[in-house]
Amino acid sequence: MKAQQETLSDIAIPFCTPLQVALPLPICIGLLKTASTDLGGVFPALDMLGEDGQTLCAFMFGTCDLPAPPKLDLGSLFKGKTEKPAPRVASTCKKEPLKVLHISDYHLDMRYVVGSEANCTGAGNLCCRVHPYTNVSVPIQEPASIFGNYLCDTPEALGTSLFRQLPKATGHRWEDFSFGLFTGDLVSHDIWELTEPYVLAEELLSYQHFFDGMGGVKIFPTLGNHDTFPHAFTSFPNQDKVLPANASFGIQQEWNYQNISAAWENYGWLSASEASTVVNSGLGIYRAVTPEGLVIISLNSDVWYYFNMYAYIGGNSIDPTGMFNTLISYLLEAESKNQAVWLIQHVNVGGSTDYEALPAATDLYYQIVDRFNNTIRATFFGHTHADEFGVFYSNNGTVQTAQTAASVAYIMPSVTTYTNKNAGFRYYLVDPESFDVLDSVNFYANISNTDQWAKHGDVTWEFEYSARDTYDPSHTLLKPNEPLSAAFWHQVTEKIYTNETMFETYTDLRTKKFRPFVNETAAQRNLTLCGLRSMSVPIFERCLGNMKSTTSFL
């Protein structure tokens, strides 16, 4: 293995030089050197002539078709309990709603340099820092602000301002919030320059920001693709038989799970038993119960993330890591106890700008959400940096109506402004008995105002919109205190599909009102529309295929 790692490093320059048109040389060399151990372990373990290789080819080179996901034996997967309970009738909220904070994609940049070039080119276009290969003799065209810029990750002053300014922006004290969610990604985007100590330092510093800033409010976190080293390369215990020792789960991930779960426990976010599950599961997952009685299940989306090379080992088989078996067991138990569940994870299982998840895993996830839609009150993602949502339907989305809408996914906008987005956060109003979401209330920081903020000494976070008022302005879709059901969100998709003004409203809010607003191309429009109703990769592909006459994506 040592020889293999040295070989990969030695060939980095001759291998990367011809690829400079698509991938800048420093990034290519850095990625190869950073991930050489992993790549040297993964590729011999892949069935390159079978579906492993076909799936990898489809995602990495676009010259192969994605294989169809395997047929599912739902009777076996659901442990003989395939029959869905009678549909739950959602009632109107009769008590004071809970307030639940949601933050995602913090992406702190500890290498952010105030005054450095904020409008750089090349080397991944992650600006506001002094790279080793930066030409420091070139005059700065746009100096990086202390509070951030549109081609940069989050400086500490911007990130911590969220916590300083949240009470003023929302009009609520910290003690008014019942708990919070964090749907992943703490580390900066320079994945070709990362080291294990740097990743861990960014993780722990970011969690310290949360703990220091949230006034004692408990937060339930999940892991993002950037919350490991190398970026997204997460191996799993069941792969140890096919991987060499220095590319095994124990080497790659144990350090991370142990450190972050200890932080989560020390801050009082998880109990000792919940934190131990993060490590003992071998998957970085856990199940927790809030003081109000809501069950929160945190999944590790690296299991299905396309950039994780380890995910391709048996990636088109049924639940190769066993994570979904654990999830189903949790859901069966919650169903038997009549408990409500929220699922939190990072990478979207469907699509909106591209596919980024392996089809087999997303197909199984979709069937689980459909089967347990009475128990699962909502699912929460991050990753895209955009403000989005998606609807799940019964019967694998073959009929998409308000009556067949089964569940909704809230895809959380980011704190980071990378790339060309304003910073954002939100809170939900939640029925304290059913744990249905009654409204999503969103706030943003307009990064074009950084000069003004610098004069005044801090960021101004502003109210952006209420989902209830924006998508149902005449209040004809919902009764007072009625939750934002999957049927409601399907009706919203109908408005977005058919009403140009509503489509532009949705696409404007996706970027948290980044200016100048630009209308989407026909190809981008199809991706957006399909993303609203395609919470699995096979369904997303099917939708895009039906629109192929007007899209250049396929």
Output the DSSP codes for 318-362.
S-TTSHHHHHHHHHHHHHHTT--EEEE-SS-SSBSSSB-B-HHHH
Residues paired with 296 in a beta bridge: 288, 342
- Looking at the domain assignment, is residue 140 inside a domain? yes
- Looking at the domain assignment, is residue 518 inside a domain? yes
Residues paired with 441 in a beta bridge: 427, 466
Cα separation, 236 vs 309, whole angstroms? 11
- Looking at the domain assignment, is residue 34 inside a domain? no
For position 529, which CATH number holds? 3.60.21.10
Return the pLDDT at 444.
Answer: 98
- Looking at the domain assignment, is residue 69 inside a domain? no
H or E stretch covering 376: strand 376-381
Residue 219 DSSP symbol: E
pLDDT digits (tens, 9 = 90+) for 223-236: 999 999 999 999 99
Closest to 107 in 3D by CA, of 189, 162, 214? 189
Distance of CA 238 to the CA centre of its chain: 24
Cβ pair 453, 433 in contact under 8 A: no
pTM over 0.85: yes
Instruction: Report helix, strand or coil for 462.
Output: strand
Cα separation, 400 vs 391, whole angstroms? 9
Closest to 364 in 3D by CA, of 413, 386, 331? 331
CA distances from 479 to 435, 468, 474, 552 (A): 17, 11, 11, 41
Phi, psi at residue 538, to the nearest 5°? -60, -40
Domain count, the chain: 1
- Looking at the domain assignment, is residue 54 inside a domain? no
- Looking at the domain assignment, is residue 198 inside a domain? yes
Return the pLDDT at 330.
Answer: 98
- Looking at the domain assignment, is residue 146 inside a domain? yes
Pairing assessment for the beta strands 341-344 and 376-381 based on DSSP bridges? parallel
Query: Range of 472's domain?
Result: 74-89+98-544
Instruction: Report helix, strand or coil for 365.
Output: helix
Return the pLDDT at 122.
Answer: 65
pLDDT digits (tens, 9 = 90+) for 414-427: 999 999 999 999 99
Cα separation, 509 vs 413, whole angstroms? 9
Return the pLDDT at 532.
Answer: 98
H helix intervals, 350-473: 359-371, 450-456, 467-471
> What residue ranges in 208-353 does DSSP mark as E strands?
219-221, 286-289, 295-298, 341-344
- Looking at the domain assignment, is residue 41 inside a domain? no
Residue 464 CB: number of other CB atoms within 10 A? 22
Residues of the chain below pLDDT 50? 1-6, 549-554
